[in-house]
Amino acid sequence: MLGDSNGSGLLDKVETIQHVLLFFLMMLVAILVFIQVLLRYVFKAPLMGIEEVLLFPTVWLYFIGGMNASCERSQIVARVLEVFVKKEKTIFFIRTIASILAFGVVFWLTYWGWDFFKYSMKMQKESATLYIPLIYSESCVFIGLVVMSFYTFLEIFHNLRIFKYGGGHEVLEKELEGGEI
């Protein structure tokens, strides 16, 4: 998780909610796919519209997973420059710059997500068979990007604090061990 916490803070509660939602959505997707396979291939009676219903938890699962990766800082990162640098202060300077650039990109994507959200609200699209409003799945793009922007913003300050005041040795050791930062 971002920052140094003992498990009682607001961010810890948000992370717990994300984990619960991820578990629930993974189970729901697995159950819906199982039902569809069972009905289609065992009973030869496919249920119309189950693919449409499956869209909603799948899209939310994807974006909540992205939020969780941003929160835990477990997203894919290529730290090529750090291979050539040995000083902790320089490593966290590079990470601070990378976090600032990442925030710029995710903020830009959030702006696009806002435009997409406004478009979705204006168009009021519905699914083809069950006429479920697609805003329920399309809204997660904007919501997910806002949360990822927030976590990336926190990561800037996390890296900046370590750059300015030290303490990067413990962070680097945990990364080498594969533990949570």
Q: Which residues touch 131 (CB under 8 Å, ≥6 apart)?
A: none
Q: Which residues touch 18 (CB under 8 Å, ≥6 apart)?
A: 64, 67, 68, 71
Length of the chain: 181
pLDDT for the residue 37: 93
Q: How many CA atoms lie within 13 A of 93 on its CB side?
A: 6
Residue 59 has pLDDT above 80, yes or no: yes
pLDDT for the residue 168: 74
Give the pLDDT confidence of 93-124 residue by residue, as tens digits.
999 999 999 999 999 999 999 999 999 999 99
Radius of gyration, CA atoms only, the chain: 20
Percent of the chain with pLDDT over 70: 91
Distance of alpha carbon 54 from alpha carbon 96, whole angstroms:
39
pLDDT for the residue 46: 83
Query: pLDDT grade, residue 161 (50/70/90)?
Result: very high
Residue the block writes with tokens 């990822």: 148
Residue 54 has pLDDT above 70, yes or no: yes
Q: How many CA atoms lie within 13 A of 152 on its CB side?
A: 23
pTM value is 0.86
Of 112-116, 133-137, 141-145, 167-171, give the lowest mean pLDDT range. 167-171
Listing DSSP states for 24-63 in one string gives HHHHHHHHHHHHHHIIIIISS-PPTTHHHHHHHHHHHHHH
Residue 91, class by beta-carbon neighbours within 10 Å (0-12 exposed, 13-18 middle, 19+ buried)? buried
pLDDT for the residue 170: 76
Q: Which whole number is the average pLDDT over 31-57?
A: 93
Query: pLDDT grade, residue 48 (50/70/90)?
Result: confident
3-class state of residue 133 by DSSP: strand
Q: Which whole number is the average pLDDT over 154-163?
A: 93
Euclidean distance between the first and final Cα of the chain, in Å? 6
pLDDT for the residue 73: 87
Residue 20 has pLDDT above 50, yes or no: yes
With beta carbons less than 8 A apart as the criterion, state whether 94 and 86 touch: no
Q: Which whole number is the average pLDDT over 51-80?
A: 92
pLDDT for the residue 3: 47
Of 9-13, 26-30, 67-71, 110-114, give the lowest mean pLDDT range. 9-13
DSSP state of 129: T
3-class state of residue 126 by DSSP: strand
